[in-house]
C-alpha cells in the first residue's frame, strides 16, 4: 500500500479518532512502517489520522526516545504555558508560534500492550500534545492567532485544495486489512 501524509483539507484530520482495540503482530508491523515513514519525512511525530487512519495512536521521537503511543490520555497539564515554534507534516512549510503547557502527565499503551504512565516536560511534552491533538481532530494552526493565519491564507488555501485531492484519491485506510502489510 502506498501511504501518503494527509494534508490540511483532508476531512480525516478533523475527525476525532477512535480507540485501537487489537494490538497484534500486524499492528506492530504497521507501527514500524509508520515509524520509517516519520523518519523519511523528517518528522518528530506522526499520528494515525495523518496517514488516513482514524485510530488513536501515534509515533514520536524527541531525539532521546522513540515512543509508540496507543490510546493515549492526558491526565494533567503541568507548569506554565510557553510559546514555541511548531510545524506539521500535514501543513508543510508553515511554522508558527504555539502556546502550550510546559509539561503533561500522560497514560498510554505501548506496542507490547503495557500501560505506560509518565510525566513529560519541554520538547517531549510539546510533541506529545501536538500528536494528541491530531487524535482529537485539532491542528496546530487552530491554536494560533487569526492574524498569524491571515498572513498565510493563500498557502493554506493551496494546501487545503491538495489535501482534498489526496483524500479523494486515498480514502480512509483500514489498518486491519491484510493488503497494507503486503499480505494480499
C-alpha cell at 115: 500501560
Q: How many helices (H) and strands (E) does the chain have?
A: 4, 5
DSSP 69-124: EEEEEEEEEEEEEEEEEE--TTSTT--EEEEEEEEEEEEEE-TTS-EEEEEEEHHH
Query: Cα–Cα distances in Å, from 125 out to 18, 45, 115, 131, 147?
Result: 22, 12, 18, 10, 26
Q: What is the dihedral of CA 29, 35, 36, 40, to 10 degrees?
A: 160
Q: Is residue 162 among the annotated active site residues?
A: no
Closest to 142 in 3D by CA, of 13, 1, 5, 2: 13
Catalytic residue among 73, 85, 119, 131: 131
SS3 49: helix
- What amino acid positions are annotated as catalytic residues? 131
Amino acid at each position: 500500500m502506498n501511504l501518503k501524509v494527509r494534508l490540511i483539507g483532508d476531512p480525516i484530520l478533523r475527525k476525532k479518532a477512535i480507540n485501537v482495540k487489537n494490538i497484534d503482530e500486524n499492528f506492530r508491523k504497521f507501527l514500524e512502517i509508520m515509524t520509517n515513514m516519520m523518519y523519511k519525512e523528517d518528522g518528530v511525530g506522526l499520528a494515525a489520522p495523518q496517514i488516513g487512519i482514524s485510530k488513536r495512536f501515534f509515533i514520536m521521537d524527541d531525539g532521546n526516545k522513540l515512543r509508540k503511543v496507543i490510546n493515549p490520555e492526558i491526565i494533567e497539564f503541568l507548569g506554565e504555558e510557553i510559546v514555541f515554534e511548531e510545524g506539521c507534516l500535514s501543513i508543510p512549510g508553515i511554522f508558527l508560534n504555539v502556546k502550550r503547557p510546559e509539561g503533561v502527565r500522560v497514560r498510554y499503551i505501548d506496542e507490547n500492550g503495557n500501560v505506560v504512565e509518565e510525566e513529560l516536560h519541554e520538547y517531549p511534552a510539546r510533541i506529545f500534545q501536538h500528536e494528541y491533538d491530531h487524535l482529537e481532530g485539532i491542528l496546530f494552526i487552530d491554536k494560533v492567532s487569526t492574524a498569524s493565519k491571515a498572513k498565510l491564507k493563500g498557502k493554506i488555501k493551496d494546501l487545503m485544495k491538495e489535501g482534498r485531492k489526496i483524500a479523494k484519491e486515498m480514502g480512509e485506510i483500514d489498518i486491519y486489512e491484510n493488503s497494507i502489510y503486503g499480505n494480499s
